[in-house]
Structure 1
């Protein structure tokens, strides 16, 4: 009860949209705290369902959107981002795609929210029992354009297997889910000069996390363990270790060519 009352007080007196429509006083650290508190409420069945009323709709319609966080998540129907973090209208900029992959469309969307909307936090959110990651891990036959998504996850599966050679099949899936989160972060940091600039300027924090579809709890992974190295690389160039891992997947050149 004490935690719930504290959350109520925080929401009544905490950061909100100011008169000019900006999200006043929300730092990357405070944004993470808001998401952590919201997920705690959700996973303990104490949701406040904030910012869901007519007043909030009118406010955001008049003043525009100024989300305090962006979340790149999977499209899985068991991972409704705003509900998982107990947030409301205008709070989170959600980017959802199967397997929470980070391709050119996702990169452009992220650049829009961090540069033009000024979101101070980006969370790359994977989840347990992810169908796309499972398909890439166990080699499920897929057809149509779904294959393009699975192929984009394959490098993460390879990284997971290199780190855990003793695991195979479904036993490797949890490790692949985490590796896929980091792979998406790597794609962002190596291919978006805008995101890199925002991070280096202290205006943006990028963290990984994994949502448990059974418990409802989010496991926070923090920043990429090689973020500093990634930021120093020329745009579009991954760390040497990652390039080496990826190169092992390519077919060796045929003699005589």
Structure 2
């Protein structure tokens, strides 16, 4: 159930944005709305399409999380599974607990607009949904350990050609508007972002959290007891 992926390797320098993005002025908010609402869209994805996209995201996020900063670890959790194309992990480290939702963009441009991440005109992880999921995770974990800090949601776009997000910098392109309530980051910005979080969890607390995350009872899953060979169930 658990992946513990941590390394001391630093993240590489983010790739440059396209020339048009570096030299031209950003569109106004109405311009962003026009682009998002009228971008060419293909047919709606089928459940099979979503399952394949989620499998690709799962592989990509596990490879990406091998570059987590020192003292940070990633975990899977049944409470984070869903039907969408994104992959999700619990990230635990000195700076807290984060519910990470990763979306594979395949070289397309990602936008944050009206509390939603858009990729090629389609809605990707919904920020309000990510926020509600983090609150639920906080409740479940506090039922097992005295967690002093709430789980915080964060959305990471993998393989995006560019990321435009209101009020954010780093490997995102600051767009007009108020900052999103959920952090939305480019893949190469996550490591430094995590390392810059103020310390809120001691090592012993992180160990207790890891044990709670690994415990099926935390997620309401009761382990099945197999009968001994030769016994008959009533």
Higher helix share: 1
Fold-level match, TM-score > 0.5?
Answer: no
Higher strand share: 2
Question: Normalising by structure 2, what TM-score?
Answer: 0.31
Question: Normalising by structure 1, what TM-score?
Answer: 0.29
Relative contact order higher in (CA < 8 Å, ≥ 6 apart):
2
